[in-house]
């Protein structure tokens, strides 16, 4: 008798759990040096990210329906990504300061930060969309 072959999916289960828990990254400046801001977010398979994608799709579909059919279609992919990332961001630490004003954590403030500072958004996006970012070492 031979042993029955099987595929062990325990590693994938662990990956899903780590995406639900999320990760935190240190934001770097253009020289690759830490600026003192850490941002946390969940992974692409997490319930929160999946809900964010559905909510953003509905939000943008509603906006499109409200526009006149004579309006030219715009490429809103950046705005969509910013909205999804903002909904998937769990925290930042410490609160950043822009022009002397402290910016507390909120979804709206995260959207504004990602829209204003592409360098920050890019660092979050590149890690948030990759499952490999959430594998335990």
pTM of this prediction exceeds 0.75: yes
In the predicted model, what is the mean pLDDT of the chain? 91
- The whole-number pLDDT of residue 90 equals 98
Stretch 116-134: mean pLDDT = 96
- The whole-number pLDDT of residue 98 equals 94
Pairing of strands 97-98, 101-102: antiparallel
Residue (of 3, 1, 40) closest to 18 by Cα position: 40
- Residue of higher predicted confidence among 74 and 124: 124
How far apart are the C-alpha atoms of 46 and 92, rounded to whole Å?
Answer: 19
H or E segment to which residue 119 belongs: helix 118-128
Task: For residue 111, give both structure tokens.
Answer: 């959207």
């Amino acid at each position: 008798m031979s042993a029955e072959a099987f595929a062990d999916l325990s590693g994938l289960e662990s990956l899903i759990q780590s995406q639900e828990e999320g990760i935190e990254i240190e934001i770097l400046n253009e020289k690759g040096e830490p600026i003192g801001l850490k941002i946390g977010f969940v992974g692409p398979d997490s319930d929160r990210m999946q809900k964010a994608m559905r909510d953003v799709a509905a939000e943008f579909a509603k906006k499109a329906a409200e526009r006149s059919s004579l309006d030219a279609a715009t490429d809103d992919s950046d705005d969509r990504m910013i909205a999804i990332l903002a909904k998937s961001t769990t925290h930042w630490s410490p609160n950043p300061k822009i022009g002397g004003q402290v910016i507390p954590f909120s979804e709206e403030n995260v959207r504004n930060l990602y829209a204003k500072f592409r360098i920050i958004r890019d660092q979050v996006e590149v890690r948030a969309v990759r499952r490999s970012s959430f594998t335990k070492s």
